[in-house]
Structures are given as structure tokens and as C-alpha cells.
């Protein structure tokens, strides 16, 4: 396995910053270059020693062996063709939460093989370089999409990164990935946003909310702290799948509303017991 390489990280927030920490700790990255349109983020990343220098995109790509794109998915779609224009033997890993539209945009690029479409199923509700933490990825899943379209050596390097981070690698095509992430990730966030709006609308005394909020409420609404700048592009790029799962979620909520309205507690009990089957999947 190649070590002590130069890594360029585009987007020095939670994901990019946490990657920088781990790749340095594992002695994989000998030098980390940060790229970010937010000058304050770059300064913070330098102060926290997440990155060793800052540079513009072109300079960073030319200096690096591995280029990691850890920015919102609309921004990835916008800059990925330019990044691929710049690469020779560099490997590019995008960390986007949606894949189908992204990979369609570069399907015919002559350097498509240097891209390894990757999605680490990890994160917190916080954003920015201050949110970066060690071991964010340990024990989590790395999804690789359409790997047959990546050059063999490019995928090997990306898989080494996943292994070093202590992640489990799984493989999907882009369409399959976007469907599944809508169900296990995107719906969780949109539900949390809706719950927060519901509580804020119905409970005007925010002080009372904080006094009564239990661990259950906090864990359910925690994701509502997540960045709109990151999540609106995800909902936009995966709109069709998100709407599909949201429609089913609304149907389930309506069913619970209906049985509660007529005080059919036997049916409510059955619905909850049915929902408990999720324990077979999430242990």
C-alpha cells in the first residue's frame, strides 16, 4: 500500500476535516492541501492543523496524488468535470450523498476512470472544520458505486483509504445507491426537519421545550441541526426517490392518525409491534 502521499481535500468541513485527521493519523497522508471557497474555513482548518496548506483548485489537483471532493453535491457536479480535466494519474474520490446525476454528468469524460464514486455513511449534525473529529468513519460503511467504470489502480487506492479508515466496503450501482440512501438517510433528515418545524410551530415557549425534552426527543430531532446548504442539494439531486419515500412516510403517518382518531388502540398496538421488526435489521 502506498503511504505518505499528498492529499488534496476540497471542502474542509466535517467530512473533509475528519478525513484529514484520520489519514494523517494513519500515516497515509504526508501532506494535506485544503481547498474551500470559504476563507474562514480554510483559516480554521489551518489553525486546527487539519490541513498543511491552502491552495486554489488547479494548484491543489496538480500537487496531489489523491483528490477528495467533500462538498455539497451540487458543487461536486459543478467542479468535477474541471477536476477531471486537470488530472493525469491522480485519483479522485467524491464523497457525495447522491450519485446518479453526478456520474451521468461525467460518463463520457476521457478521464472518467480516475474517479472512484464513494459515499461514506458517516456524519454528525454539525458542520464546518470545527466539527471534524477523529474516528468518524470507524466501523461505518463506505459505498462504492459503478466501480467497473474506475481504473483498477484508482479503485485500489480508494479501497485502501476505506480500509485504513476502518470502514466496511460495499458496492452498488448509482441508481440503487440513490434509492437506498433515500430510505435510510435522506428521509431521516427530512423527517427531523419536519418534526422540528412542527414543535416550533405548536410550542411557542421554547424554554418549556428545553425543560421537557428527553433523550428520545433529542435523538429524533437531532438531525434538524444539519446544514441546509448541504441538504437542499441532496434533496434536489435525489428528488424523485425522496418524494417516493416521503409519500410512503406520509401514508404511514396518516394511518396512525386515523387509528388514533377512532381510538382503535388494538390496531395501533399492532402497528407499533410491526415497526419493532426493524430490530432485526438494526441491532
- CATH number for the domain spanning 189: value is 1.10.3660.10
The model carries a pTM of 0.87
Q: For residue 1, is pLDDT > 70?
A: no
Mean pLDDT calculated for residue range 24-41: 96
Q: For residue 65, is pLDDT > 50?
A: yes
Of 6-20, 101-115, 268-282, which range is least confident? 268-282
Confidence of residue 202 (pLDDT cuts 50, 70, 90): confident
Of 138, 154, 172, the last residue of a domain is: 172
Rounded Cα–Cα distance for residues 154 and 190 (Å): 34
Of 172, 198, 228, the last residue of a domain is: 172
Q: Are residues 183 and 162 in the same domain?
A: no
Highest mean pLDDT among 12-16, 195-199, 221-225: 12-16
Domain around 272: 177-280
Report the candidate in 254, 190, 185, 184 with the shortest Cα–Cα distance to residue 221. Answer: 190
Q: Are residues 149 and 46 in the same domain?
A: yes
Of 137, 172, 207, the last residue of a domain is: 172
- The total number of structural domains in the chain stands at 2
Rounded Cα–Cα distance for residues 276 and 283 (Å): 11
Rounded Cα–Cα distance for residues 195 and 78 (Å): 32
At 283 the pLDDT is 63
At 211 the pLDDT is 66
Round the average pLDDT of the chain to a whole number and report it.
Answer: 93
At 201 the pLDDT is 78
At 75 the pLDDT is 97
Write out pLDDT tens, residues 258-281.
999 999 999 999 999 999 998 876
**Largest Cα–Cα separation, the chain:** 67
Half-sphere exposure of 106 (CA within 13 A, CB side): 27
Q: Are residues 160 and 184 in the same domain?
A: no
Amino acid at each position: 500500500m502506498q503511504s505518505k502521499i499528498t492529499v488534496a481535500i476540497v471542502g474542509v468541513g466535517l467530512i473533509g476535516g475528519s478525513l484529514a485527521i484520520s489519514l494523517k493519523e494513519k500515516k497515509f497522508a504526508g501532506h494535506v492541501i485544503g481547498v474551500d471557497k470559504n476563507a474562514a474555513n480554510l483559516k480554521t482548518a489551518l489553525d486546527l492543523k487539519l490541513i498543511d496548506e491552502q491552495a486554489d483548485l488547479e494548484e491543489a489537483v496538480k500537487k496531489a496524488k489523491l483528490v477528495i471532493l467533500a462538498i455539497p453535491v451540487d458543487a461536486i457536479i459543478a467542479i468535477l468535470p474541471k477536476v477531471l480535466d486537470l488530472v493525469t494519474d491522480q485519483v479522485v474520490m467524491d464523497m457525495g450523498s447522491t450519485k446518479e446525476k453526478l456520474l451521468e454528468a461525467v460518463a463520457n469524460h476521457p478521464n472518467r476512470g480516475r474517479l472512484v464514486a464513494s459515499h461514506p455513511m458517516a456524519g454528525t449534525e454539525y458542520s464546518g472544520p470545527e466539527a471534524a473529529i477523529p474516528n468518524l468513519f470507524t466501523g461505518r460503511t463506505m459505498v462504492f458505486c459503478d466501480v467497473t467504470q474506475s481504473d483498477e489502480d484508482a479503485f485500489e487506492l480508494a479501497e485502501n483509504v476505506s480500509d485504513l479508515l476502518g470502514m466496511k466496503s460495499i458496492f452498488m450501482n448509482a441508481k440503487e445507491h440513490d434509492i437506498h440512501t433515500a430510505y435510510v438517510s435522506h428521509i431521516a433528515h427530512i423527517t427531523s426537519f419536519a418534526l422540528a418545524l412542527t414543535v416550533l410551530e405548536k410550542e411557542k415557549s421554547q424554554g418549556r421545550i428545553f425543560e421537557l425534552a428527553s433523550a428520545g426527543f433529542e435523538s429524533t430531532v437531532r438531525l434538524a441541526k444539519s446544514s441546509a446548504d448541504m441538504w437542499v442539494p441532496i434533496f434536489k439531486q435525489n428528488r424523485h426517490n425522496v418524494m417516493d419515500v416521503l409519500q410512503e412516510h406520509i401514508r404511514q403517518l396518516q394511518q396512525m392518525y386515523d387509528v388514533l382518531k377512532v381510538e382503535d388502540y388494538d390496531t395501533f398496538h399492532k402497528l407499533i409491534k410491526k415497526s419493532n421488526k426493524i430490530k432485526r435489521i438494526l441491532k
